[in-house]
Structure 1
Amino acid sequence: MHIEVIPVEGLPLIHQGDDLAEMICRLVAFEDGDILCLASSVYSKAHGHTRLLDEIVPSVDAERIALKTHEDPRFVQAVLDDTTDVILEEPFILSETVTGHVGVRAGLDHSNVEDGMVVRLPPDPMNAAAGLRDALGAVSGKDVRVIITDTCGRSFRRGQAGVAIGWSGMTAIRDFRGDHDLFGHTLEITEEAVVDEVAGFSNFVMGESNNGIPAVVFRNCPQWAGHDDLHFRRDEDIIREALSKN
């Protein structure tokens, strides 16, 4: 199996109202089955999921937490506004968003964006991926799978990695349960988070500073069967349970 990885080069800085599907299709000749990974920040900028710090009034909680994290209280308030559950307040805010995604500062970002602006995660990333997939299909005439990515820290390991926050045209998990290994043993627990693996490699291609590559195409990736139950339920998440006890 020969998988081709194609960085989408030449996209300009994105502004609200830009037609991402049209802009990307001018730069890529898609084929059926391609997977497009798109940075969530780019999607959010095009769809206006941004906030101006000058328009945010911090609450008492935001002021209190900002003293611990040494951050702008207005930014902390933006994080709290997109948070359904604060898991940690310090040394950084670790929180859950309405979509079930758990990440540092609710995924809000103020890098690679104009001064004084904060970029939010898409409020409904699954519908965002589905909508972008439909738009790409309408422009290109091809069946393109879509993953919207973000970067996230990892428990027990240093450094960030790309993860999928929304996807369309595939399942998040490749489920091996019931299959057999090389020795004929039945696999009982093996579930592979394929969307995160693809998102992680796309982030390696995109880079984290000034590469200017917010989209990556993967070609010749096989189809797989599985499910979309990517996030642990609270009663399953042993790390979250341990943090709550402390």
Structure 2
Amino acid sequence: MNVFAVPDLPEVRAGDDLGVMIDERVDVRADDVICVASTVVSKANGRTVDLKDVTAGPRAIEIAERIAALTDEEKDPRFAQVVLDESTDLLLSAPFLLTRTPFGHITVNAGIDRSNVPDADLVLLPSDPSANAEALSSTLGAPVIVTDTCGRPFRHGQRGVAIGWAGLPASRDWRGEHDRDGHELEVTVEAIVDELAAAANLLSGEGDGGTPAVVIRDFEFGDHGGSNQLFRAYDGDLVRQALEEWEYRG
């Protein structure tokens, strides 16, 4: 498997055809997987916000004041308001905001970013990243993964994850297959799109690299079952259910 960044992509702005921009710079093969950072997908779709245009409501003001009191850092209630606007559920309100997006991704601050946004204060996550991946896949003629980076429970540091995909299953299902000793695998479902997103993130990076699109070439899914289930449903998400009973008391 080979992984390489799409070279020489310019700053992406609202209205740009991101698929064409990538296609002009890489000879895309039908079996490539193109990983595209959510930031540039959102920029192309105009998913940016200026805080001067935001009015914080009472709930956002209350949240910002409580977090500021807990962390000794000033918090802008307008930012809290944008997070609330971009979320369907608020799982934690202190000491940080942990939210669920409309498309099912659970992340801090609804995935809103302040980095690499030259024309606005904030860039939001795409509203429907799988639909964006489908449109890019149609243009490029290859599978596409829309990626983001986020932290992990129980571990330090961030890593790349998939928030939308098209043209390949989200997971590779090993259940019913056997290990080298003949034992049947009963629970193993491999989150392929997350693993490919993490590989791409090694090249797209987190800073000023300017390489938000990455090509993964010669990846083979293999002769396995596939699934598009990536985000846990509420009924099977025991951690999310436990959070409903938990309150931060720091």
TM-score, normalised via structure 1 length: 0.94
Residues 1:129 and 2:127 are matched in the alignment: no
1:34 aligns with 2:32: yes
Preserved CA contact (<8 Å) 1:54 1:116: no
**Once the two structures are aligned, what percentage of the paired residues are identical?**
47
Q: How far apart, CA to CA, are the structure 1 residues paired with 2:139 and 2:44?
A: 14
RMSD: 1.2
Q: Equivalences for 1:208-219 in 2 at 5 Å? A: 208-219=206-217
How far residue 107 of structure 1 moved from its aligned partner, in angstroms, is 0.8
Name the aligned partner's letter for residue 191 of structure 1: V
Instruction: Work out whether residues 62 and 73 of structure 1, in 8 Å CA contact, stay in contact via their aligned partners in 2.
Output: yes
Q: Following the alignment from structure 1 to structure 2, what is the Cα–Cα distance between the partners of residues 117 and 146?
A: 28
> SS state of the match for residue 20, structure 2?
helix
Shift of 1:115: 6.3
What residue in structure 1 maps to residue 71 of structure 2? none
- Where does residue 242 of structure 2 map in the other structure? 242
Compute the TM-score of the two structures, normalised by the length of structure 2: 0.92
Q: Give the structure 2 partner of residue 73 of structure 1.
A: 77
**Over residues 81-127 of structure 1, what are the superposed CA-to-partner deviations in whole Å (9 max), with x where a residue is unaligned?**
01100000111100001111100001111111126421111111111
- Identify which range, 63-72 or 50-59, moves more after superposition: 63-72
Question: Residue 6 in 1 paired to residue 4 in 2?
Answer: yes
Aligned equivalents of 2:105, 2:121: Cα separation in 1: 22
Residue in structure 1 matched with residue 229 of structure 2 by the alignment: 229
- Give the conservation status (yes or no) of the 8 Å contact 2:48–2:120: no
Contact persistence 1:164–1:196 (CA under 8 A): yes
Which consecutive unaligned segments of at least 5 residues does structure 2 have? 69-74
C-alpha deviations, 1:172-222, integer Å up to 9, x for none? Answer: 010001111111111110000010001011112111111111011000001
Q: Which runs of 5+ in 1 are unaligned?
A: 138-143
Are 1:95 and 2:99 matched, yes or no? yes
Q: Does 1:197 align with 2:201?
A: no
Shift of 1:237: 1.3
Aligned positions, number: 238
Distance 1:204 1:156 in 2: 21
Give runs of ≥4 in structure 1 deviating > 6 Å: none
Give the Å deviation of 1:155. Answer: 0.6
